[in-house]
Structures are given as C-alpha cells and as structure tokens.
Structure 1
Amino acid sequence: MTRATLSVLLLTPFTACARAGRPREAYAFEKSEPPLTMRWRFLRPDPGTLVAEGVVRNSLPNKFRFSQVTVTVLGKDGEGRIVSRSVTRIPDLTGATSRFRLVHPLSGPEASFALRFAYKTEDIEGNGGRN
C-alpha cells in the first residue's frame, strides 16, 4: 500500500471563488495526479460557512483502487497562519468517480483557503502501489 499527499494552495479570497450563475457541475479548480483527478469549487452559503464540493475521479479503476481519499480545507489568515481546519474522507474509491462535500465553519480571520488531499492506493494487478 502506498501513501501520497498532494497540496493545493489557494491564495485567492473565497469571494472570488463563488460566482453567481455558474452551472451546477462547473468547478473552478482542478488538480490531476494520474490516475487521480480532483475537481472542486468553494461556495459561501452564509457568512459563517465555506463549503468545498467536488468530484474525485480515478481514470484507471480497473488498475488502481483508492482505499481512502482524505480532503482537508485549511483557512489561513492574512499572514498565512492556519486559523481553521476541516477534514472529510472518501473511503474505498473503487469506482471511477466519487463526490465529496465538506462544510467548513469559519473562525473569522480567514483571508484565504488551501485544499489538500491525500490518498492510499493499491495496484489491483499486484504491481505495488502508486504515488
């Protein structure tokens, strides 16, 4: 079993991320580390909440099984210090896609957000895991 971590730092304030009038399946952000691709968006349903929602896609579901994908949202203040954190897990990504939704309560001083994901994978064909 192999573990890998991929971090995506988003220094854009959340107000620039959630635009009105977007199609339901439009995602502002995408990060790919084959065979895993993650697409997501940030929404602000109320002043005290940020929601990260998206799709994780395994482009080789017959070759790789993701036993767990962990999604973390970090809120950072203007100096880059972490002031809030929320985590969700997508267990056993055996199919091609899985959706996630993470509700992140705001602590107040957030100026930017980072979304990170980590995963564990197994090579179904028996050739070892993949980073």
Structure 2
Amino acid sequence: MNPEDTPLISVVMAVYNGADYLDEAIESILQQTLTNFEFIIIDDGSKDDSLEIIKKHAPYDSRIIVITRENRGFAFSLNEMLAISKGKYIARMDQDDIALPNRFELQIQFLENHPEHTA
C-alpha cells in the first residue's frame, strides 16, 4: 500500500443483530466530511437482516471492508478489526449510533493540534 493510499482513520464496527438502526449508522459514517478512512465492519453471526444491510452498502463504497463469521463476541471482534486496521487513528462506531457529519474532521483536528492526547 502506498503511503498516500493509507487511510488516516480506521473505523471499526462490530455488528450483532443490529438491523434496526444499522442502515442509519453506516450512512452516517459514509457521509463524513473527512473522507480518508477505511470502514471495517464485522457481522458477528447476526440472526437478523444485519448482513444484508451491510452488503447493500459495500459494493458502492470501496472504503468498506466486510467480515462475516460465526458469533465470537464483541471483544474478539474488536481485537480482530484492530489487527487488520491500517489507519493512523481508530474510530469506534456502534451499530446503533449516528455520527454527526463532521465527527472525524473535528476529532482529527483536535488530535493533530493536541498530540499530548494521542498514545
């Protein structure tokens, strides 16, 4: 991967039976004003329509990385996503949250201006 192709942010979202709010959560990430990110989504063995909702978005946005498998739990999913993430920063997103359009822009601006808050 070329350095200019490296995402600034790796967005990680573990999904388990989150169909009720998942479409809106995904859309809120895809509509961010800061666009240099990868979006890693694990479907952790959902029994509802979560995987279909995720797959609806993936073909239209190359930033989305979809992993689907049997249920292994939230902590396992987060560790799996962290292991494959390529971004300088990690942004965690829950399946039932909505991110304001400038969330990443404001967070990165703060972190870049205040390096004492980064680890």
TM-score, normalization: structure 2? 0.29
Q: Which structure shows the bigger proportion of residues in helix conformation? A: 2
Q: Which has the higher contact order (CA 8 A, sep 6+)?
A: 2
Q: Which structure shows the bigger proportion of residues in strand conformation? A: 1
TM-score, normalization: structure 1? 0.28
Rg larger for: 1
